[in-house]
Amino acid sequence: MVVLNRIYTRTGDDGTTALGSGERRPKYDCRIAAYGTVDETNAVIGIVRLHLAEAPELDRMLGLIQNDLFDLGADLAVPQRDGAAERLRMLSTQVARLERDIDALNAGLAPLTSFVLPGGTPAAAYLHLARTICRRAERIMVELAAKPDEPVSAAAIQYMNRLSDFLFVASRSVNNNGAGDVLWVPGQNR
């Protein structure tokens, strides 16, 4: 259980922050950037959910995703080291659930005839914003995983890769199952 009685600690005033292991790192550290960007993704998903009165099933899916993203942040905040006590980690079952949800949403969509521009309904536009932040988080996680002694679980990276796909399909879903998509017209303004 997490108990937060005091929000400010002053320990970060020197430009560092603590990982879940207690180790202090500079606030610009790649691991901090990774879970901070996961948190940004989660915040935008919270905004999306404000616009889903007509889509309770999608809202339910996004609620599960928001919780998963906190799990992912916890996973990233405590690097897995040999011999260390096991902590909360992302699981392949979470990735599999996202894949099932993508398939369920995608089943009702009109086929794509062009790339989709961010827009349409407010929910769709925010889903595209969440998707782009999610992709940035994934890039940072892959960069982190490429560093020596900076483990990132395969399930965590897979989850973010699937999540960006989910967010794209969800944006089309809330755009009247693709009928309200704003399509790219190559060279339209030449």
Residues in the chain with pLDDT values less than 50: none
**CA-based angle 47:142:43, to the nearest 5?**
10
**CA-based angle 37:11:2, to the nearest 5?**
65
Task: Please say whether the beta carbons of 89 and 155 come within 8 A.
Answer: yes
Q: What is the pTM of this model?
A: 0.92
- Mention every residue, 6+ apart, whose C-beta is less than 8 A from residue 30: 140, 143, 144, 147, 150
d(Cα 26, Cα 1) in Å, to the nearest integer?
Answer: 26
Q: What is the pLDDT of residues 33-80, one digit of tens each?
A: 999 999 999 999 999 999 999 999 999 999 999 999 999 999 999 987
Query: What domains are there in the chain, each with its CATH number?
Result: 26-79+87-179 (1.20.1200.10)
For residue 50, give both structure tokens: 């404000």
C-alpha distances (whole Å) from 52 to each of 26, 39, 48, 59, 143 are: 38, 20, 7, 6, 34
Q: Using the 8-state DSSP alphabet, how is residue 2 labeled?
A: -
> Given this model, what pLDDT does residue 2 score?
66
112, with CB counted inside 10 A (0-12, 13-18, 19+), is exposed
Residue among 72, 50, 22 at smallest CA distance from 9 = 22
